[in-house]
Chain A
Amino acid sequence: MSGPITGEDQPRLSPSLQTRRLQLRMLTNEDHAPLYRLSSDPDVTFQWRFRGTTPSYDEFLKQLYPGVLCQFVVSPLGSQEVLGLVVAYNADFRHRFCHAAVVMHPRLHRRGLGIEAFMGLARYVYYGWDFRMIIMETVGIAFENFSRGEEAGYFTVEGRIRDQFYYGGRYWDGISVTHRRDQFEKVMQGPVGQLLSPGRRVKVPPSK
């Protein structure tokens, strides 16, 4: 019979908010404007909260916190630059799951940094709550960026609504995926584990 995993049993679980390249940090007032700009970026908005609509700044702020269990700005280690946002929301404590979402600046897409940020959030969530799974709702156009993760064991596709969303002249599937606690433990043994491991930083000269 399995019980809750303790920190002693599972050293990979940690409340740390640092990953190999990133820090997940508390939102401050100074982050609101960069996040507002990010949410309205043409390469982000249709896949993120406002789905292409343009809420006022005040409306954006009103919608930033309701339903949120925990959320963090994603920044590079040693910098306050806003690279994205990770959110755990709509927690169900009776059935022990929550939802999560990740948004990253478009210049970082397909670089693996969204996965690194998500895994940092998952580690924090699984450390702090006895959740069985984290659920993510995504859109086919975004799912293409990480679809191979199912084969790699990162998550399981649980449901698909065909042709749910319209973007760019066609309809895309709506996709529900789960990232379960045991999948977290398992992928930590591979390259994903390296994303949460400490390491030695090199000094990069500024670009010319």
Chain B
Amino acid sequence: MRGEMATGNARTDVMSLDEFKAWFVAEIEWSPSEISEDNDLVEDLGMDSVGAVDLMAAIEDAGGGDVIMPIELLLRITTVRDAYLQYCALAHLPYESEVAR
């Protein structure tokens, strides 16, 4: 079930964790068919730098496409659950006033 975001900065519906895991398996090419929120992306799922690019781009797309996953959030991602939390953060944090460039 999709939940509406709580802030006035809603950019898209936000997936639940279970929806996110299903989305992850469907959208991320290198994902195995079954994942757990506790899986370490590198150690358990084999994510490399190319996989990280895929994941970043997919999360940005899921967040509405034009929003940038900041480095600060990117560095907080180790597990599938972390990826979900930062996806949620990306969807809720307010925009800076100007487009990046």
Q: Which residues of A contact B (CB under 8 A)?
A: 16, 18, 20-21, 76-77, 107-116, 144-149, 152, 154, 191-192, 194-195, 198-205, 207
Contact = CB atoms under 8 A, between A and B. Distances in A.
A112 B96 contact: no
Contacts of B52: 110-112
A200 B68 contact: yes
B43 to A, nearest CB: 10
Contacts of B50: 112, 115, 146, 148-149, 152, 154
B71 to A, nearest CB: 5
Contacts, number: 108
A150 to B, nearest CB: 9
| SS of A interface (majority) | loop
A203 B30 contact: no
- Best-surrounded residue of B30, B52, B55, B73 (most CB of chain A within 10 A): B52
A50 to B, nearest CB: 23
Interface in B30-88: 30, 42, 47-58, 60, 66-75
Given A107-B75, A199-B68, A148 B51 contact: yes
